[in-house]
């Protein structure tokens, strides 16, 4: 008599990615390469057509693994027109179009399409599915509420954005994944709707799975395996604790289906592992090609190198004659930083764009982050192009970067000499305290936001000799998008995509923490389905 051992062959977990943006969260999950399979995006949904263009392009490139088409690398290195991928690689482009959908959640046609895809995914994947994403954060953000009526309970009812998480819940109910990952801004912890905390409403729905399944919610931060007395603040993940060179604090909720946990003999909640040393601005930006800013046409200036050098040098001379309130060695550092640009010929940042080289990360960059960001095939960095600034702002940028070089911090409004104050009646009232913010070399940056599309005042480059705001590529590095990640659209649209995204490096850490837990739970109990691969051992 023969005994047969029927065993499921390990396969990847399928991903449904909602509110995808340019794909930061999905990029990190797809990069997971640990044992026991990995993650594959089945379908991603983004309503903005420009962000969707970026998302679809990345979905296309993943069809080639890490060996992207040579035409893509040539495109990045040359700066020429983007090839027609659908003509060059029709099969891979068709698959990318099926994966990345330009749809608006909540609309009937979107619901119809997703329902069909969900049924197909469940038939093929069974329990090997996860749901990721997060609703738009504008209605939850503290900054957004600050520009709305003062009532603490106001969360943009008219805009209806606070209800978009219900679309996430609807998909959760229909998909019934083994787990989900939901990301949103820290401000949702304090937001209220009709005297109920937004966080309470969201987590109640997440725990019930919309009514068809129960989920247990887990915070990723911290090392305590006991899931008791969890506070809302426990779900806040500080990205800089996990290797991202940016102080980005976001709410990240992981939910795992209760029935899977109950059928497992042992269970350890997923936990992120902190890094020994936080990555800093200089770890990812110091070696990039030096650039000058542009000059705004207002004031009769010509945007050329000579004019720019003269403006910066004249600004340095002007600032040197102003009181700055510094003393001792700090004052010496300030004077030295200012003196390095007080003669036009001393300034070596000569281009606004089209620089070759500088693709290698600084020696100080942690090895894991270096491997994530760098691509040895690149000879230039895309989207490393400066914007134009008015002369008065150039002077304020110069002062602020020299101040940060001397003190290690960005100056507050009260630190600026009166002669550099912008024409705002409440400039020193406290509302504009951080209106001009330098990102010092030796710390993680502040949170990269989509406000970069408006102006660069919050992201002044720390090098006084460059006297400018940061480029899209610099913002992308702080957000840990690989250097070969190309963003579609104009510069403003690129800034918005970068600022709204989840840092892919952090997402990869989440995938690494979650996959072993899911593999243990699902592989240990899931029944066979039609179409499963099996091994028959006599």
Give the HSE-up count for residue 122: Cα atoms under 13 Å, Cβ half-sphere: 15
Best CA proximity match to 13, nearest among 96, 172, 132, 94: 132
**What local confidence, expressed as pLDDT, does residue 187 receive?**
85
Kindly state whether residues 359 and 425 are assigned to the same domain.
yes
Kindly state whether residues 480 and 507 are assigned to the same domain.
no
Q: Do the Cβ atoms of 116 and 106 come closer than 8 Å?
A: no
Domain range enclosing 368 = 281-484
Q: Please give the structure tokens belonging to residue 104.
A: 């608006």
Q: Could you please report the per-residue DSSP string of 2-22? A: ---EEEEPP-PEEEEEES-TT
**What local confidence, expressed as pLDDT, does residue 300 receive?**
64
Kindly state whether residues 394 and 419 are assigned to the same domain.
yes
Q: At what angle do helices 49-61 and 491-500 cross, to 10 degrees?
A: 70
**What local confidence, expressed as pLDDT, does residue 226 receive?**
46
> Reduced to 3 states, what is the DSSP secondary structure of residue 177?
coil
Phi, psi for residue 345 in degrees, rounded to 5: -70, -15
**What local confidence, expressed as pLDDT, does residue 303 receive?**
81
For the chain, the farthest-separated pair of C-alpha atoms sits apart, in whole angstroms, at 98
Domain assignment present for 39 = yes
Kindly state whether residues 260 and 361 are assigned to the same domain.
no
CA distance 204 to 196: 12
Domain assignment present for 298 = yes
CA distance 106 to 451: 27
Is 137 among the catalytic positions? Answer: yes
Q: Do the Cβ atoms of 337 and 329 come closer than 8 Å?
A: no
- Stated as kind and residue range, the H or E segment containing 217 is strand 215-218
pLDDT tens for the 538 residues of the chain, in order: 333 333 344 689 999 999 999 999 999 999 998 877 899 999 999 999 999 999 999 999 999 998 999 999 999 999 999 999 999 999 999 999 999 999 999 899 999 999 999 999 999 999 999 999 987 655 544 444 444 433 334 344 444 555 677 889 899 999 999 999 999 988 888 887 777 888 888 888 888 876 666 999 999 986 555 456 788 999 999 999 999 999 999 999 999 999 998 877 677 889 999 999 999 999 999 999 999 998 886 666 678 888 888 888 999 999 999 988 899 999 999 999 998 888 767 777 778 998 999 999 999 999 999 999 999 999 999 999 999 888 889 999 999 999 999 999 999 988 999 899 888 767 776 677 788 999 999 999 999 998 888 888 999 999 999 999 999 999 999 999 999 999 999 999 999 999 999 999 999 999 999 999 999 898 865 443 333 333 322 2
Best CA proximity match to 474, nearest among 378, 366, 386, 357: 386
The β-bridge partners of 537 are 5
Identify how many contiguous H helices and E strands the chain contains and give both numbers: 18, 14
**What local confidence, expressed as pLDDT, does residue 163 receive?**
63
- How many structural domains does the chain have? 2
Q: Please give the structure tokens belonging to residue 32.
A: 């997971």
Q: Please give the structure tokens belonging to residue 96.
A: 């990318």
**What local confidence, expressed as pLDDT, does residue 77 receive?**
97
Q: Do the Cβ atoms of 509 and 237 come closer than 8 Å?
A: no
Q: Please give the structure tokens belonging to residue 269.
A: 């909640």
Phi, psi for residue 500 in degrees, rounded to 5: -85, -10
Kindly state whether residues 274 and 204 are assigned to the same domain.
yes
Kindly state whether residues 326 and 373 are assigned to the same domain.
yes
For residue 104, what are the contacts with CB-CB under 8 A and spacing of at least 6? 47, 110
Kindly state whether residues 427 and 513 are assigned to the same domain.
no
Domain assignment present for 68 = no
Please identify which of the residues 30, 137, 402, 450 carries the catalytic annotation: 137
**What local confidence, expressed as pLDDT, does residue 126 receive?**
93
Domain assignment present for 111 = yes
Kindly state whether residues 382 and 435 are assigned to the same domain.
yes
**What local confidence, expressed as pLDDT, does residue 322 receive?**
92
Q: Do the Cβ atoms of 249 and 408 come closer than 8 Å?
A: no
**What local confidence, expressed as pLDDT, does residue 466 receive?**
93
Domain assignment present for 86 = no
Domain assignment present for 124 = yes
**What local confidence, expressed as pLDDT, does residue 280 receive?**
98
Kindly state whether residues 286 and 273 are assigned to the same domain.
no
Domain assignment present for 320 = yes
Kindly state whether residues 442 and 468 are assigned to the same domain.
yes
Task: Write the Ramachandran bin of 222: left for phi over 0, alpha for psi from -120 to 50, otherwise beta.
Answer: left
Beta pairing class for 13-18 and 129-133: parallel
CATH number for 109: 3.40.50.150
Q: Please give the structure tokens belonging to residue 217.
A: 């919610």
b vs e for 309-325, b when ≥16 Cβ sit within 10 Å of the residue's Cβ? bebbbebbebbeeeebe
CA distance 272 to 255: 15
Kindly state whether residues 289 and 233 are assigned to the same domain.
no
Kindly state whether residues 195 and 238 are assigned to the same domain.
yes
Q: Could you please report the per-residue DSSP string of 219-262? A: --SSS-----S--GGGGEEEGGGGT-SB--EEEEEEEEEHHHHH
**What local confidence, expressed as pLDDT, does residue 403 receive?**
95
Domain assignment present for 492 = no
């Amino acid at each position: 008599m023969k005994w047969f051992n029927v065993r499921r062959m390990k396969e990847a977990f399928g991903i449904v990615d909602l509110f995808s943006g340019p794909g930061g969260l999905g990029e990190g999950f797809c990069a997971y390469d640990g044992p026991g399979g990995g993650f594959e995006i089945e379908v991603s949904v983004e309503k903005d057509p420009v962000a969707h263009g970026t998302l679809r392009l990345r979905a296309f490139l993943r069809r080639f693994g890490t060996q992207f088409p040579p035409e893509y690398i040539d495109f990045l290195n040359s700066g020429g027109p983007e090839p027609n991928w659908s003509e060059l690689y029709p099969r891979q482009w068709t698959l990318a179009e099926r994966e990345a959908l330009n749809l608006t959640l909540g609309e009937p046609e979107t619901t119809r399409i997703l329902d069909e895809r969900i049924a197909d995914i469940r038939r093929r994947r069974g329990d090997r599915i996860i749901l990721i994403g997060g609703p738009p954060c504008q209605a939850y953000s503290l900054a957004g509420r600050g520009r709305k009526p003062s009532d603490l309970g106001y969360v943009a009812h008219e805009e209806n954005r606070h209800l978009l998480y219900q679309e996430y819940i609807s998909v959760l109910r229909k998909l019934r994944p083994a787990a989900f990952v939901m990301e949103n801004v820290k401000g949702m912890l304090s937001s209220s709707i009709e005297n109920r905390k937004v966080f309470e409403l969201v987590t109640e729905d997440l725990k019930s799975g919309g009514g068809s399944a129960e989920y247990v919610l887990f915070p990723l931060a911290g090392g305590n395996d006991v899931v008791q007395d969890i506070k809302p603040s426990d779900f806040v993940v500080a990205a800089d604790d996990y290797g991202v060179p940016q102080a980005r604090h976001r709410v990240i909720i992981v939910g795992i289906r209760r029935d899977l946990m109950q059928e497992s003999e042992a269970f350890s909640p997923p936990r992120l592992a902190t890094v020994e040393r936080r990555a800093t601005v200089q770890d990812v930006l110091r070696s990039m090609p030096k650039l000058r800013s542009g000059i705004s046409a207002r004031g009769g200036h010509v945007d050329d190198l000579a004019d720019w050098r003269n403006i910066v040098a004249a600004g340095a001379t002007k600032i040197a004659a102003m009181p700055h309130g510094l003393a001792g060695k700090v004052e010496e550092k300030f004077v030295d930083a200012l003196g390095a640009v007080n003669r036009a010929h001393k300034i070596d940042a000569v281009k606004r764009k089209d620089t070759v080289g500088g693709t290698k990360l600084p020696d100080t960059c942690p090895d894991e982050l270096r491997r994530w960001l760098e691509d040895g095939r690149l000879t230039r960095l895309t989207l490393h192009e400066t914007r134009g600034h008015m002369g008065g702002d150039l002077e304020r940028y110069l002062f602020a970067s020299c101040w940060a070089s001397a003190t290690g911090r960005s100056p507050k409004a009260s630190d600026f000499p009166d002669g550099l104050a912008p024409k705002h009646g409440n400039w020193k009232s406290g509302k504009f305290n951080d209106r001009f913010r330098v990102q010092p070399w030796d710390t993680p940056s502040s949170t990269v936001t989509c406000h970069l599309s408006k102006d660069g005042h919050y992201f002044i480059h720390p090098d006084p000799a460059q006297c400018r705001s940061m480029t899209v590529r610099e913002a992308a590095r702080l957000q840990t998008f690989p250097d070969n990640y190309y963003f579609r659209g104009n510069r403003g649209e690129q800034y918005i995509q970068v600022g709204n995204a989840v840092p892919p490096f952090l997402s990869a850490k989440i995938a690494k923490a979650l996959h072993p837990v899911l593999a243990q739970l699902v592989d240990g109990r899931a029944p066979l389905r039609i179409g499963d691969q099996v091994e028959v051992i006599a």
